[in-house]
Structures are given as structure tokens and as C-alpha cells.
């Protein structure tokens, strides 16, 4: 299930069925141009996201989770991988979701992708206990690199060189 790349923020309501994929083999694809993803997870729920065409190289990803007011116990895990998940709860653990009476939230989990990162990222968010929590994933490398326009003088220079070549060829034919 792919999400259009024309918005800076993708929400669950923007995908078919109004829910991000709960299947590790078919994650919701977040295409180039979207740097924020907002969703929610409840007990026993897992959201799988796949960010495509990210800028290669080092970047920091942050995920902020917020429990509803008055609901103060939640547990879960966040995983990430640069290759597709082949099982649930697989990949590198980015952090634990933990909301307690002493730490009601919001909670932010951050992780770094090293300089060898190639541009494709998979994230799973799993809530094993607790109320429905809202989350926001910030992926600054998914905004991509805008194309560099070619200045008009480059085309003019090309046309001038082609014109000089044509004149030179005409002169050679005239002298022979």
C-alpha cells in the first residue's frame, strides 16, 4: 500500500482503509517527499512503515509517542531495518515504548542511521499493552534532494558550438 508523495505529512487517514499496514511482509510505503508520519497504535497492534528513496548517508530519526490523558501504563517496542522484515519484532531495536505513572509522556525514541545508510528504511511500532497511543515519526532524509536546474547559458553554449561546427564544415566543403 503506497502513500502519495505530494504531502510533507502522511496520516493514517490518508491510506486506504484508514490504517497503516499491520503486515510485516506488506508495509505501508511512504514515498519520497514525506518527512512526517502520524498514526496510532493500540494493544496488540503493530504498524509497519517503509520509507523509500531517502537521502543516503547519516541521519537521525525520531519517533514521539503520546498516550491519552489519564492513561498511564503502556509498553511496546520500536524496531528498524534497512532490509525488509521477514518476521515480526525483527531488526534493530530502536527503543522501548514505556509509559508509567511516573513518566506519563510524551516519549521520544531516536536512532541514528550511519554514513553507510543506502536510502531504504523499514520501521515497526508495536504496542503490547496500553491504551491507543498517537505517534509521529520524523524522517528528515525522506524529503529528498531537489533536482538541480540546468542554467539557460549552458543550452546557448551548446547551440553556439553546434553552429560553429556547422560553419566550419561548410567552409571545408567550399575549399575542397
pLDDT by residue (tens digit) across 107-163? 999 999 999 998 899 999 999 998 889 999 998 867 655 444 555 665 566 666 777
**CB atoms inside a 10 Å sphere around CB 46:** 21
Q: Which of 35, 36, 1, 43 is nearest to 18 (CA)?
A: 1
| Average predicted confidence (pLDDT) for the chain | 82
What pLDDT is attached to residue 100? Answer: 81
Q: Which of 61, 50, 69 is nearest to 133 (CA)?
A: 69
* Cα three-residue angle 152-157-163, rounded to 5 degrees: 130
The answer on pLDDT for 70 being more than 70 is yes
What pLDDT is attached to residue 93? Answer: 95
**Listed range (20-29, 49-58, 136-145) with the worst mean pLDDT:** 136-145
On whether the CB atoms of residues 97 and 13 are closer than 8 A, the answer is: no
| Residue whose cell numbers read 525488509 | 84
Bridge partner list, 93? 79
What domains are defined for the chain?
2-149 (2.60.120.380)
Amino acid at each position: 500500500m503506497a502513500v502519495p508523495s505530494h504531502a510533507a505529512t502522511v496520516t493514517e487517514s490518508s491510506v486506504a482503509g484508514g490504517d497503516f499496514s499491520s503486515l510485516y511482509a506488506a508495509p505501508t510505503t511512504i514515498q519520497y517527499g514525506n518527512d512526517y508520519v502520524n498514526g496510532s497504535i493500540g494493544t496488540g497492534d503493530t504498524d509497519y512503515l517503509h520509507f523509500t528513496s531517502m537521502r543516503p548517508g547519516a541521519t537521525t530519526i525520531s519517533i514521539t509517542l503520546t498516550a491519552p490523558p489519564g492513561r498511564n501504563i503502556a509498553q511496546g517496542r520500536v524496531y528498524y531495518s534497512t532490509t525488509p522484515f521477514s518476521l515480526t519484532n525483527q531488526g534493530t531495536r530502536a527503543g522501548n515504548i514505556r509509559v508509567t505513572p511516573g513518566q506519563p509522556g510524551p516519549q521520544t525514541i531516536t536512532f541514528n542511521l550511519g554514513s553507510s545508510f543506502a536510502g531504504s528504511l523499514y520501521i515497526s511500532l508495536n504496542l503490547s499493552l496500553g491504551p491507543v497511543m498517537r505517534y509521529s515519526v520524523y524522517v528528515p532524509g525522506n524529503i529528498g534532494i531537489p533536482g538541480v536546474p540546468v542554467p539557460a547559458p549552458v543550452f546557448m553554449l551548446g547551440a553556439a558550438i553546434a553552429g560553429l561546427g556547422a560553419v566550419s564544415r561548410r567552409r571545408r566543403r567550399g575549399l575542397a
